[in-house]
Chains A and B, each alone.
Chain A
Amino acid sequence: MKPFTYERATSTAQAAARAASVPGAKFVAGGTNLLDLMKIEIETPAHLIDVNGLDLAKIEPTPDGGLRVGALVRNTDLAADARVRRDYPVLARALLAGASPQLRNRATTAGNLLQRTRCPYFYDPDQPCNKREPGSGCAALAGYRRMHAIVGTSDACIAAHPSDMAVAMRVLDAQVETIRADGTTRSLPLADLHRLPGSTPHLETTLDAGELVTAVVLPPPPGGVHVYRKVRDRASYAFALVSVALVRQADGSGRVALGGVAPKPWRSEEAERALASDPQAVVDGLLKDARTSPDNAFKLTLARRTLDAAIADARSSR
């Protein structure tokens, strides 16, 4: 691990200003992903700004009937919140399908959104990786691609976003609140937080330098039956091969987002209009531009079957 200096943030505005002005600064909250990457020197911050002392660990109702989830709310606490379990069960289920209890006790809401890919070539400093070292090439393209993304990829990067929580938040139309280095705040749809890799896979979000996520806002509960169905190589504590977040209304209409297949939570509001009449058309629409290899072409079939299974789960739970 490279040496780094350390400070505790005293306010969100101070933290954002410091992050933008101190060379090589990064925020640390749970640290479960950042520390892991610092040990193998894929992340080499010269300065860490510990935001754990900030007042961002509350879950509060919003005036319109939604919930504001503070950036520092731990994954365990968000999944255990009675309002989340009752009104947004797809989110509670997605959180509980991710990581291990020990990790969920530390991992935060904002950190979960901003975690890096688990592409094994990104994790291996001896391999070229455009995300880790822009312009060096992509070892995954010619490598073993079973876990990799099949849509939203580019010739520069095929890494998948690993989060379960973000897939559920995307299906719930969550908004991300931030504060920037100049002290101004903004709110952006979660759909606009993550970038697709294109020719610049090292740029993963649309956040500015120093911009600090302060909360995720859930709109009023969408009703319906909520399902999060995750398919993985072992029954617990593994990343998704494919996951489906489904909110299904009584008439069969609803919303669908996929995890494990793209560089960000993957949803198409246009494609999901067919959910009641022809669920497979939703998957067709979501994966119409898929680029697969023999290693991961199974994800096309698996996505169809997982959506079918999720719909069956929703039907049987009413």
Chain B
Amino acid sequence: MNESDAIDPSRRDALVFGRDLLLGGAAARWAGPSPAQAATANDPQAPVTVKLTLRVNGTAKSLALDTRTTLLDALREHLHLTGTKKGCDHGQCGACTVIAGGRRINACLSLAVMHDGDEITTIEGLGAPGHLHPMQAAFVRHDAYQCGYCTPGQICSSVAMLEELRRGIPSHAGADVAAAPTATPDELRERMSGNICRCGAYSNIIDAIGEVAGVRT
């Protein structure tokens, strides 16, 4: 794991560098200090670059990005935080789930520029080898994955999901929508329906989440 961590960034830097050349980064328009000014630029087909700051896992990161950059691509391709995964890129699978402003969202369906100044927590911010987040530890303990590709999204989603439960946010699984929700296996399953696992590790995933939630699944 440490070895691949050491190799990965340089390979990614090369990829990013190559991609920027292909897109003609030098020709990109700058939006200037006020993004609104970009609307007066001449060529409507030219890429538009904006400056923004993301607060990722507690650290402010200043970026200059094409307006088209999703939060997911900003995290993976520009900040090299590749724990967050790109599955469908259309909000259907949940592999890209991150916590933005305290809420779990699909990072693929949000523009980075719309998160200027936002606090973003990714899987890298939840825990690390040696000091795992309790949910990460539970996933390991319950073997709650097979290929592992959906796992960062599952973990970010489930951590935020338990916070939603604690705050009393209702779900489709509750019999009485006006009543305070309780953590039951049906509630946990319904609340995790935005995260797909193609390997079908659901029973172990729900066991891991149930353990952290204090629910027998």
Contacts and interface: CB of A to CB of B under 8 A. Distances in A.
Interface of A: 1-8, 22-24, 28, 31-32, 35-36, 38-39, 46-48, 50, 52, 76, 79-80, 82, 85-86, 89, 92-93, 96-97, 99-103, 105-106, 235-237
A162 to B, nearest CB: 13
Interface stretch (B5-13, B105-113, B140-148, B199-207): B105-113
Interface in B155-210: 157, 161, 164, 167-172, 177-178, 189-191, 193-194
B46 interface: yes
Interface of B: 31, 35-36, 38-39, 41, 44-48, 50, 66-68, 70, 89-91, 94, 97, 103-106, 108-111, 113-114, 157, 161, 164, 167-172, 177-178, 189-191, 193-194
Contact of B170 (A5, A85, A100, A105): A85
Contacts of A24: 44
Contacts of B190: 235-236
A5 B39 contact: yes
B109 A6 contact: no
A4 B113 CA distance: 12
28 contacts: A3-B45, A4-B68, A5-B38, A6-B38, A6-B48, A6-B113, A7-B36, A7-B38, A8-B35, A24-B44, A31-B111, A31-B114, A32-B109, A39-B90, A48-B111, A50-B113, A79-B177, A93-B172, A96-B177, A100-B91, A101-B104, A102-B104, A102-B105, A102-B106, A102-B157, A103-B106, A106-B110, A237-B193
B169 A106 contact: no
Contacts of B103: 76, 105-106
A7 B114 CA distance: 10
Contact of A46 (B44, B97, B114, B189): B44
B114 A3 contact: no
A43 B106 CA distance: 19
A3 to B, nearest CB: 5
Contacts of B48: 3-6
Contacts of B68: 1, 3-4, 38
Given A76-B169, A236-B172, A5 B31 contact: yes
A28 to B, nearest CB: 7
Given A3-B68, A101-B161, A102-B105, A32 B91 contact: yes
Given A28-B114, A101-B161, A35 B70 contact: yes
A1 B73 CA distance: 13
A102 B109 CA distance: 10
Given A3-B67, A6-B67, A79-B170, A39 B44 contact: no
A80 B67 contact: no
B35 A6 contact: yes
Contacts of B191: 101
Given A35-B111, A101-B191, A4 B164 contact: no
Contacts of A22: 39
A93 B178 CA distance: 10
Contacts of A31: 109-111, 114
